[in-house]
Amino acid sequence: MTNPSRRVVLAAALALAGGAHGAAWAADATPPAAPAPAPAPAGAACPALLNHTFARLQDEKPQSLCQYAGRVVLVVNTASFCGFTGQYQGLEALYARYKDRGLVVLGFPSNDFAQETGSNQQIAEFCENTFGVKFPMFAKSSVRGPQASALFRQLAELSGTAPRWNFHKYLIGRDGRLVDQYASFTGPDSKSLVRAIEQQLAVATPR
């Protein structure tokens, strides 16, 4: 019969041996891989009205309008030889005044009314040299009729009004929905347009 005290000593020795062995195993073992980080939440989807790509006026590099999602957007069809061409100055002033609050003016030169005959480079130089235009502008395109770009077809369908002349304006809210449209006679400093822009700027940016 084994002595009880001897059994205690034996059990302690076995426990120590097991502990040393376990420590050695832990030192040699490869630590488990850290769990993969959770994927970043996807950004807000690009609104359908801005889901278009246009060539930039200055260098004709493609630009997605999705980059303006969450901003208040004023879309304007422009021309260099029009009685309303002077509105470039007011549009630039409007852009400079409100851009830090989330407004962007987008200019789309068009020869649909036979008043924009120059090349993209000529248009860009005219806008910069004559009016100091800094707001984004895009290559010459069609804004009405069967040849209109997809953006202007959408705007005409949603508003019920295609541009009847140069410097027609469409206001798009932060949520990417059309707010209103304004005829050429509504200048950039019009109280109704400025008030509508300020109302849209006061809306929280969608998340």
Active site residues per annotation:
82
**Sign of CA pseudo-dihedral 53, 57, 61, 66:** negative
Query: Cα separation of 110 and 78, whole Å?
Result: 6
Q: Which residues pair with 169 in a beta bridge?
A: 76, 182
Question: Reduced to 3 states, what is the DSSP secondary structure of residue 148?
Answer: coil
Residue listed under structure tokens 């999705």:
66
Residue 48 contacts by C-beta under 8 Å, 6 or more apart in sequence? 154, 176
Q: Would you state the structure tokens that stand for residue 70, as one six-digit string?
A: 């969450």
Asked if 57 contacts 139 with a C-beta cutoff of 8 angstroms, the reply is yes
Answer for the pair 118, 138: CB distance below 8 angstroms, yes or no.
Answer: no
Residue 77 host element (H or E) = strand 72-78
The total of other beta-carbon atoms located within 10 Å of residue 171's CB is: 20
